[in-house]
Amino acid sequence: MSYASILAAAFVVWPVTCLAGTQGNPLLMALAALPALFLARPSWRPAPALLAALGFLVWAIASETWSPVSRGIVSGSLAGGDFAIRSAGLRMVLTLVFGTLLIGGALRIEPGRAQLSARIMLGAVALHGLLLIASPHLAGDVLPYFYDHDPAKYPEGWQNLDRAGNAFALVLPILAAYLLVRPGLAWKGIGLFLVAASLVSIALLGTSAAMIGIVLMLVAFLVMWALPRTGLRWLFTGVAAYIALAPVLIGGLLHLLTRMGVTLPGSFQSRAWSWDVVIGRIREAPVKGHGIDATKSWQETYAAHPDWLAQLPDFWAYYPVVPGHPHNMALQIWAETGLIGAGLAALTVLLIGWRLPAGDRLRPDVRLAIAGLLAAAVSLFSFSYSVWNEAFWATLALSVAGLVLLSRRERSSLA
């Protein structure tokens, strides 16, 4: 029995967990990862990027000691049935362990041993996409059946669809690359139609981060078309530089927009104001940061910023400018773990990019999928989740495993 079949089984469940809001993806990842110990026997020799990522998490856990919202590492007991891992850093270490097992197991699959499994994965991703494309038109009729006809619960359903859109943005590059590389204009047309239909449906759902992710995916595809050999390394280096220089880059952009008198639409403007506050807090503790999850304690409201409040309805006066977290992982890393954490996070990305084979040594569909997945992940990284959201990282790890599964499928000139 090949580990590829385990991954295929995980992707059969994928559309269900994603349309349910991706909160089940950490469990799905763990269940898919454990068999790798017996079937794939992943190498126990740690990669440099893994050591850098582990170093970042160890530093994040250490920051519990000065975080204003630290609640300890664990609480309760197994015997009492109220055991909980309260440390976000420790939860992320567990996520890293299972994600490493999952991807390490996938990398041990021999080429040609994933023919059927890769097809199943692609079919599951396609089903996810078709359901998502239909959701703006059918959700109004379907959601009542899943939420007990209780209108108070419908916003939760729409939020789950938003998360499903984010998850699809991560796997769309795999399916799109597979289709666009197949010979024949018909397959390329199907691939372009899928991308366009996904973009329209996600725009109708209002999932801005996923929409930007798809656009960035297309840009990454163009980069790989222009620079097939070095494009991947340039992209990973660019992302690493973005993390390392986030306060300077984002702060400079916000300053430029203010000088030009540009007001961003809707939620983007509120994010810009949040980022402005966070950058100010970064200056207070630039080296070690304020501690893990410290942004949750920053409760200043728009009432403290009358110039911003003047552009909003009066009831916004009571809303926190930083709503729990900055909705930008790079700034959150800087704010909570400082220069040390940001340096380790940037180093992790840089090592991944430079340890990959040169782009021209990879199949065209594989190098396109890597670039597109990176671009989509950067969008979600920049606009959506807290850096300590294990559901996001589990979804990303499963997406990477799907990409590896695609690479282990041997393609003929007709497929």
Considering the domain architecture, whether residues 36 and 133 belong to the same structural domain is answered as yes
d(CA 223, CA 49): 24
Point out the domain boundary residue: 357, 373, 397.
357
Q: Assess whether 248 and 140 both reside in one domain.
A: no
Residue 83's pLDDT is 65
In this prediction, residue 38 carries a pLDDT of: 87
pLDDT attached to residue 368: 97
Locate all alpha helices (DSSP H) within 69-207, ordered by sequence.
Answer: 88-107, 115-146, 154-181, 185-205
Query: Residue 264 and residue 360: Cα distance in Å, rounded?
Result: 40
Please give the biggest Cα pair distance in the chain: 64
Do 257 and 334 belong to one domain? Answer: yes
Alpha-carbon distance 274 to 305, whole Å?
11
10 Å CB burial of residue 287 (0-12, 13-18, 19+) is: exposed
> Do 217 and 321 share a domain, yes or no?
no
Indicate the number of domains in the chain. 2
Distance between CA 290 and CA 296 in Å, rounded? 11
* Residue 168 sits in the same domain as residue 245: no
41 contacts 191 by C-beta, under 8 angstroms: no
Q: How far apart are CA 3 and CA 394, in angstroms?
A: 18
How many residues are listed for the chain in this entry?
A: 415
Distance of alpha carbon 38 from alpha carbon 382, whole angstroms: 37
Compute CA distances 287 → 21, 67, 240, 291, 297, whole Å: 36, 14, 18, 11, 19
Residue 57 maps to a domain:
yes
User: Within 10 A of 133 (CB to CB), how many other CB atoms are there?
Assistant: 19
User: Which pLDDT does position 415 carry in this prediction?
Assistant: 56
Are 77 and 83 contacting, i.e. CB atoms less than 8 angstroms apart? yes
Question: 151 and 23: one domain?
Answer: yes
Q: Are 200 and 55 in contact (CB under 8 A)?
A: no
Residue 18 CA to residue 351 CA, distance in Å, equals 29
Nearest to 338 by CA among 292, 276, 393, 390: 292
- Identify the burial level of 85 via C-beta atoms within 10 angstroms of its C-beta, where 0-12 means exposed, 13-18 middle and 19 or more buried: middle
Q: Is residue 301 part of a domain?
A: yes
The answer to whether residues 327 and 394 belong to one domain is: no
Would you say residue 68 lies in a domain?
Answer: yes
Looking at the structure, do residues 22 and 163 belong to the same domain, yes or no? yes
8 with 53, same domain: the answer is: no
Let me know whether 36 and 123 are in one domain.
yes
CB-based contact 292:336 (threshold 8 Å): yes
Question: How far is 87 from 74, CA to CA, in rounded Å?
Answer: 7
Q: Is residue 255 included in any domain, yes or no?
A: yes
**Cβ atoms within 10 A of the Cβ of 167, count?**
28
- pTM (2 decimals)? 0.94
Could you list the residue range(s) of the whole structural domain that residue 400 is in? 1-41+108-227+388-415
Asked if the structure places residue 377 within a domain, the reply is no
**In this structure, what are the phi and psi dihedrals at residue 239, rounded to the nearest 5 degrees?**
-65, -40
In Å, how far are 73, 76, 137, 391 from 84, measured between CA atoms? Answer: 9, 6, 39, 16
Residue 87 maps to a domain? no
Answer whether residue 370 is part of any domain.
Answer: no
Residue 100 within a domain: no
One digit per residue, the tens of pLDDT, for the chain of length 415 reads: 689 999 999 999 999 999 999 999 999 999 999 999 888 776 677 889 999 999 999 999 999 999 998 776 666 666 666 666 677 888 999 999 999 999 999 999 999 889 999 999 999 999 999 999 999 888 777 777 777 767 777 788 889 899 999 999 999 999 999 999 998 899 999 999 999 999 999 999 988 999 999 999 999 999 999 999 999 999 999 999 999 999 999 999 999 998 988 878 877 888 999 999 999 999 999 999 999 999 999 999 999 999 898 888 888 889 999 999 999 999 999 999 999 999 999 999 999 999 999 999 999 999 999 999 999 999 999 999 999 999 999 999 999 999 999 999 987 654 5
Per 3-state DSSP, the chain is made up of helix, strand and coil in percentages (nearest 5) of 75, 0, 25
Q: Are residues 31 and 138 both part of a single domain?
A: yes
208 and 125 housed in the same domain? yes
Separation between Cα atoms, residue 383 and residue 291, nearest integer Å: 21
